[in-house]
Chains A and B, each alone.
Chain A
Amino acid sequence: MVAPNSTQGAVERTAAHRTPASSYAGREPKIRIEGVSYWYSRRQMLNGVTLSVPDRAVTVLFGPAGGGKTTLMRLVNRLNDLVEDTQMTGRILLDGEDIYTPGTDVTGLRRRVGMVFALPLPLPGTVRENVVYGPRLAGERNTSRLSEIVERSLTQAALWTEVRDRLDAPALSLSGGQQQRLCIARSLALEPEILLLDEPTSGLDPISTAKVEESLYALKKDYAVVIVPHSVQQAARIADVAAFFLAGELVEWGEGPEVFTAPKVKQTEDYITGRFG
């Protein structure tokens, strides 16, 4: 278990860790990640990550590829349970409760923690079927309740006006940007408390990207939003809280504007200003 960057800026990093995200400091964090390390078939993906995610704000996880951002996200909704040959240490608390306690209701957890993937992945079937998939599995059978869910979720994802007449069209007949907002709506249909988005706009054109970002602004009023952005620019645009990851380590985190205008660690600054990564 070798920490690849153990020689770089260890002192600076420790200092950065101690700095709390000031205006979120008083609030109880929605998610508390405590000293999480994670190995995938002997390769260390995360090394002692400690981070608080506030409620009703956008938390951005950014940094070069392979930094452990996606891995960390998939630990929060325990999607990594599907992967074999892994090992984790540390704790992840949701509203103060350890989600890795034996006996945790994993499917219930995943309903509370919605996730949107890098590529739009509509399920086979119509627009409507995609939105009601989660609620149906959760046991919702009432058709009028389901119709309400469809309209509410699609509205929240800023897609309702575009697809209200095409609810029974195949989900794949939508454009890429619409499909991705459909995937957001699909997660919102479960009324989660947290929304994880893993480069949700990486496959989209600028206009669709703007629309997805727009829906994020609306969503953070009600949800804890955690997002891996697809560029530093996007990270700077939307971050209330920003966390910079490098090779499995959390280098620096704090309030978005501070991290992007006055980074405390040289590696963060280098990355933001485009000197590497």
Chain B
Amino acid sequence: MNRALVQRLGFAFLGLITFVVVVPILLVIGVIVARGIVAINWQFLTTMPHGGMKEGGILPAIVGTLLLTLGTALVAVPIGVGGAVYLSEYARDTRLTRAIRLAIVNLAGIPSIVYGLFGLGMFVLFFRFGTSILAGSLTLAIMTLPVIISTAEEALRAVPQEFRTVSASLGGTRWQGIRTIVLPQALPGIITGVILGLLRAAGETAPILFTVAAFYLPRLPSSPMDQTMTLPYHLYVISTQVPGMPLSIQYGTALVLLALVLSLNIVASVIRRHFRRKRQW
């Protein structure tokens, strides 16, 4: 077979695979938008549910998910980025650090329901935080940490070693080199990891099942010790637990969750592009 033909067949095959990957995503988005858009109006987004959740809006679920995501970020970002800086810039290659890295990789593979049960035992019961936004945020943060640490470490390692050497040769301490050169250069990659982790946290149901999520709570939380409704759990409830729920509300809720996640994603790529333009290698 001649090489040009092989090449063309190869491209066709790879193109087909790409198509197969993209189609389900487009279908999911398309169906949810088409069926959910009718439910979306100002009232749906800004009022409490009532009438057995078959009427009214989903405001507490939206607010709850936003608060949980924020709480997760507040806990997971400093710890995750700090851990990544330590692993990439300070830690020597010892048996201990290899064990830590192995633990991080394995944490990323633990099923989310296990995190949920861990959160229940650790934060809800042992620390007596009760079913609360605090307990839920901590649980989600622990689930998110491996993603943040490993992507941030990757981003830090991608910064050329020479920058650190130059900084040191100009009388910079190790931390000064990290603060002035390495971290700013790694920022786009770190942000990507943070957002990926947070997006996963925002859409999770299992970890919040026992730690924060309320079945039906038509008011806004007033403290971190409150329970709250959340979008993923609300979606699960109205899809499986409430008979006679109008389809449009189910799809509408899914659409709101999807839009929230996608808009976070867009914000992330704008930030990323902004910082990447400043980068020069």
Contact = CB atoms under 8 A, between A and B. Distances in A.
A190 B279 contact: no
Interface stretch (B35-43, B50-58, B168-176, B201-209): B168-176
A110 B280 contact: no
A134 B168 CA distance: 9
B172 A77 contact: no
Nearest to B176: A137
Interface residues on B, range: 20 to 34
Nearest to B171: A111
A79 B171 contact: no
B92 interface: yes
A124 B184 contact: yes
A26 interface: no
Contact of B92 (A79, A84, A186, A190): A84
A123 B278 contact: no
A118 to B, nearest CB: 10
B168 A110 contact: yes
A108 B171 contact: yes
A115 B280 contact: no
Nearest to B185: A124
Given A123-B181, A124-B280, A137-B176, A107 B162 contact: no
A139 to B, nearest CB: 10
Interface of chain B, main secondary structure: helix
B46 interface: no
A79 B169 CA distance: 7
Contacts of B173: 107, 137
B263 interface: no
A196 to B, nearest CB: 9
Nearest to A186: B170
B97 interface: no
A170 B279 CA distance: 10
B234 interface: no
A114 B163 CA distance: 15
Given A117-B162, A170-B280, A110 B180 contact: no
A172 B280 contact: yes
B165 interface: yes
A232 B140 CA distance: 63
Given A134-B170, A137-B172, 13 more contacts: A82-B165, A84-B92, A107-B172, A108-B171, A115-B169, A119-B162, A121-B163, A123-B166, A124-B163, A133-B172, A133-B180, A134-B172, A170-B280
10 contacts: A107-B172, A110-B169, A111-B170, A114-B170, A121-B163, A123-B166, A133-B172, A134-B170, A187-B169, A187-B170
Interface of A: 77, 79, 82, 84, 107-108, 110-111, 114-115, 117, 119, 121, 123-124, 133-134, 137-138, 170, 172, 186-187, 190
